[in-house]
């Protein structure tokens, strides 16, 4: 089944041709007249706020800001036929506007602006943030400890000591809408904003199928048994590098015994109350953010699109 609601970071992914066959020649593409570079500082992309809606702020490769980049720009692929790159530049430490950027352009946390970007641009920004974040945290070889350097257009790192190749990683996470047909099972973590409840979720473990992970996570966190599981959709989530695997799951039991180390609270929410939560009318429960796949799963269930059949 295809869900009717768009999923942030995933809905515009087809707009970027990753063009893996061009990565070895990325340096030559960067020198071309059509090349453009998205700068990120502290993981925050440069956003142009001067138009009717926020947009990515692309730079020419010769822009002085890019001379501060920690490493060579990563080749993201082709968008509209133009080679697109991303570069990690140091954050500006002083107070006030960043003088390296034009007025009306700012480095902004992607989570706060993603839903306002065009789908294609949010997908490109997610790719840029994910791969640059991986480079920042993998400066040394996991095998021998020697420094590594970017290779293949930024899509791998090569160890200068033992020659090992390292590739960007993505961590699969199951996120599930557990329902008994008339209610959904929601939880909240203590670190979340007051009143916020969402779908249960957790990282997959080695040797697990998606279905196994859904059943294990729900049991571990709430002691609710799950039967049928159905995969619905996924979302790249670059905070830092997860792939959210959205599923619906059939509850076989309904008694909740909460794991206090994982959840501050867990509850069953009837359909009518879920509707009021999602549209902001619930007196005490807040809903997941607009760019989260949890919001899509819950809204799709209300629309009759996400039952575990």
Bridge partners of 25, per DSSP, are none
Q: Is residue 270 part of a domain?
A: yes
131-182 residue pLDDT tens: 999 999 999 999 999 999 999 999 999 999 999 999 999 999 999 999 999 9
Question: Token pair of 131, please?
Answer: 């791969």
Provide the 10 A C-beta neighbour count for residue 276.
Answer: 14
Provide the 10 A C-beta neighbour count for residue 178.
Answer: 26
Q: How many Å apart are CA 36 and CA 192, to the nearest integer?
A: 37
Same domain, 25 and 40: yes
Residue among 138, 113, 143 nearest 126 (CA): 113
Q: Is residue 198 part of a domain?
A: yes
Same domain, 187 and 279: yes
Same domain, 234 and 125: no
Same domain, 184 and 86: no
Q: Is residue 277 part of a domain?
A: yes
Q: Is residue 266 part of a domain?
A: yes
Residue 130 φ/ψ, nearest 5 degrees: -65, -50
Residue 307: the pLDDT is 83
User: What percentage of the chain's residues is helix, strand, coil (to nearest 5)?
Assistant: 25, 30, 45
Question: Token pair of 138, please?
Answer: 């993998």
Q: Is residue 8 part of a domain?
A: no
Q: Is residue 7 part of a domain?
A: no
Q: How many domains does the chain have?
A: 3
Residue 132: the pLDDT is 98
Residue 2: the pLDDT is 64
Same domain, 200 and 152: no
Q: How many Å apart are CA 209 and CA 205, to the nearest integer?
A: 9
CATH code at 115? 3.90.79
Same domain, 160 and 260: no
Residue 232: the pLDDT is 95
Q: Which helix (H) or strand (E) holds 237?
A: strand 226-237
- What stretches in the chain show pLDDT beneath 50? none
pTM: 0.93
Domain hosting 53: range is 13-129
Residue 295 φ/ψ, nearest 5 degrees: -65, -40
**Going by C-beta distance under 8 Å and a sequence separation of 6 or more, which residues neighbour residue 255?**
223, 224
Same domain, 179 and 295: yes
Same domain, 229 and 163: no
Same domain, 195 and 250: yes
Pairing between β-strand 171-179 and β-strand 242-251 as defined by DSSP bridges: parallel
CATH code at 259? 3.90.79.10
Q: Is residue 6 part of a domain?
A: no
Q: Are 267 and 251 in contact (CB under 8 A)?
A: no
Q: Which own/partner contact pairs does 20-28 have at CB distance under 8 Å and 24+ positions apart?
A: 20/155, 22/75, 22/78, 22/83, 22/153, 23/75, 23/152, 23/153, 23/154, 23/155, 24/152, 24/153, 26/75, 26/83, 26/85, 26/152, 26/153, 26/154, 27/72
Question: Token pair of 287, please?
Answer: 């809903």
Same domain, 199 and 278: yes
Same domain, 78 and 150: no
Same domain, 58 and 162: no
Buried b (16+ CB within 10 A) or exposed e, 55-85: bbbbbebeeebbeebeebbbbbbbbeeebbb
Q: How many Å apart are CA 110 and CA 98, to the nearest integer?
A: 17
Question: Token pair of 128, please?
Answer: 């840029």
Q: Is 30 helix (H, G, I), strand (E, B) or coil?
A: helix
Q: How many Å apart are CA 103 and CA 65, to the nearest integer?
A: 15
Question: Token pair of 171, please?
Answer: 């961590």
Q: Is residue 295 part of a domain?
A: yes
């Amino acid at each position: 089944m295809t869900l009717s609601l768009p999923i942030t970071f995933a809905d515009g992914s087809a707009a970027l041709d990753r063009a893996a066959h061009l990565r070895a020649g990325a340096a030559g593409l960067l020198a071309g007249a059509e090349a453009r570079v998205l700068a990120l500082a502290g993981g925050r992309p440069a956003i142009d706020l001067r138009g009717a809606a926020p947009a990515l702020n692309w730079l020419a490769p010769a822009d002085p800001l890019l001379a501060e980049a920690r490493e060579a720009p990563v080749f993201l692929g082709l968008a509209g036929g133009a080679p697109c790159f991303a570069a990690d530049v140091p954050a500006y430490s002083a107070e006030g506007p960043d003088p390296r950027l034009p007025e009306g352009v700012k480095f902004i946390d992607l989570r706060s602006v993603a839903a306002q970007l065009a789908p294609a641009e949010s997908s490109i920004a997610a790719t840029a943030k994910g791969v640059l974040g991986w480079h920042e945290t993998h400066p040394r070889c996991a095998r021998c400890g020697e420094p590594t350097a970017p290779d293949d257009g930024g899509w791998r790192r090569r160890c200068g000591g033992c020659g090992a190749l390292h590739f960007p990683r993505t961590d699969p996470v199951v996120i599930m809408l557990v329902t008994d047909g008339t209610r959904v099972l929601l939880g909240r973590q203590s670190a979340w904003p007051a009143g916020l409840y969402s779908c249960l979720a957790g990282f997959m473990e080695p040797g697990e199928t998606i279905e196994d992970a859904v059943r294990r996570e729900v049991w571990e966190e709430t002691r609710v048994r799950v039967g049928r599981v159905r995969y619905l959709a996924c979302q790249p989530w670059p905070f830092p590098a997860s792939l959210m695997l959205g599923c619906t799951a059939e509850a076989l039991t309904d008694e909740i015994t909460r794991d206090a180390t994982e959840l501050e609270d867990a509850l069953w929410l009837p359909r009518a109350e879920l509707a009021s939560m999602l549209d902001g009318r619930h007196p005490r429960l807040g809903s997941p953010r607009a760019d989260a796949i949890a919001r899509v799963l819950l809204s799709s269930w209300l629309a009759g699109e996400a039952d575990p059949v």
